């Protein structure tokens, strides 16, 4: 590699923590907005609790029976009907507060990879239920944070917390070092 190429690579590498901060904040805004709209909203966490989830899942079940190429996989139909619908009130709280907590954790950089992984799980659940909207790009950004982000929480609480834990936890000190962020 030429000296100029090495200089360009080194200068781009300096912006990497800021790039992951930007990705985190984009995702955080989307998750906080989604969760904030649901917390305290009728049908989500206010009476009647779970009505929004029930309506959403009934729509997904209808989409799973529409024609030879349904939007919702047949296996999700069974899961929604036998597990999610009977527990719609529990899932209403899990979704509403889960979205809010994922957004807050990503915004402050707290347990960044875990928060992004929880966001990926939520996105997959929404996609399997036949909802697209902002879920595909959010899924891709979340997966990027989980699998490709080199220290995605460095500019956040993780930048302080994980090295501190690494010094005090008898196991995994190497995994919790600053390089592992």
DSSP string, 2-15: -HHHHHHHHHHHHT
The answer to whether residue 162 sits within a structural domain is: no
The answer to whether residue 173 sits within a structural domain is: no
Domain with 138 in it: 15-153
**Rounded Cα distance, 4 and 70, in Å:** 53
Contact residues for 156 (Cβ-Cβ < 8 A; gap 6+): 21, 24, 108, 109, 110, 112
The answer to whether residue 169 sits within a structural domain is: no
The answer to whether residue 109 sits within a structural domain is: yes
What's the pLDDT band for 161 if we cut at 50, 70, 90? confident
DSSP classification of residue 85: G
The answer to whether residue 175 sits within a structural domain is: no
Per the listing, tokens 């912006």 go with 15
Alpha-carbon 25 to chain mean position = 12
Residue 155 contacts residue 108 (beta carbons within 8 Å): no
Tell me what the mean pLDDT of segment 139-167 comes to. 85
What's the pLDDT band for 168 if we cut at 50, 70, 90? low
Crossing angle for the helix pair 16-38 and 88-108, to the nearest 10 degrees: 150
**Rounded Cα distance, 159 and 162, in Å:** 6
pLDDT at 16: 82
Q: Is 44 helix (H, G, I), strand (E, B) or coil?
A: coil
Q: Is 46 helix (H, G, I), strand (E, B) or coil?
A: strand
Using the predicted structure, report yes or no on whether residue 27 has a pLDDT greater than 80: yes
Alpha-carbon 153 to chain mean position = 14
Q: Helical H runs in the chain?
A: 3-14, 16-38, 51-64, 74-79, 88-108, 112-128, 135-143, 158-168
The answer to whether residue 4 sits within a structural domain is: no
The answer to whether residue 41 sits within a structural domain is: yes
**Rounded Cα distance, 117 and 139, in Å:** 10
* Virtual torsion, Cα 136, 93, 146, 160, nearest 10 deg: 140
How many domains is the chain built from?
1
Share of the chain above pLDDT 90, in %: 55
The answer to whether residue 24 sits within a structural domain is: yes
């Amino acid at each position: 590699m030429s000296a100029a190429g090495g200089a360009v690579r080194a200068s781009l590498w300096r912006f990497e923590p800021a790039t992951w901060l930007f990705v985190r904040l984009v995702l955080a805004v989307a998750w906080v907005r989604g969760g904030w709209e649901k917390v305290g909203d009728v049908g989500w966490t206010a009476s009647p609790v779970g009505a929004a989830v029930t309506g959403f899942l009934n729509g997904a079940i209808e989409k799973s029976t529409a024609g030879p190429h349904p939007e919702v996989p047949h296996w999700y139909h069974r899961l929604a009907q036998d597990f999610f619908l009977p527990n719609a009130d529990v899932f209403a709280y899990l979704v509403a507060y889960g979205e809010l907590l994922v957004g807050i954790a990503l915004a402050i950089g707290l347990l960044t990879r875990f928060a992004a992984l929880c966001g990926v799980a939520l996105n997959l659940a929404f996609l399997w239920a036949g909802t697209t909207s902002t879920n595909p790009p959010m899924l891709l950004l979340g997966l990027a944070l989980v699998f490709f982000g080199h220290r995605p929480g460095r500019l956040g609480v993780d930048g302080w917390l994980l090295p501190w834990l690494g010094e005090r936890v008898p196991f995994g000190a190497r995994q919790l070092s600053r390089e592992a962020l």
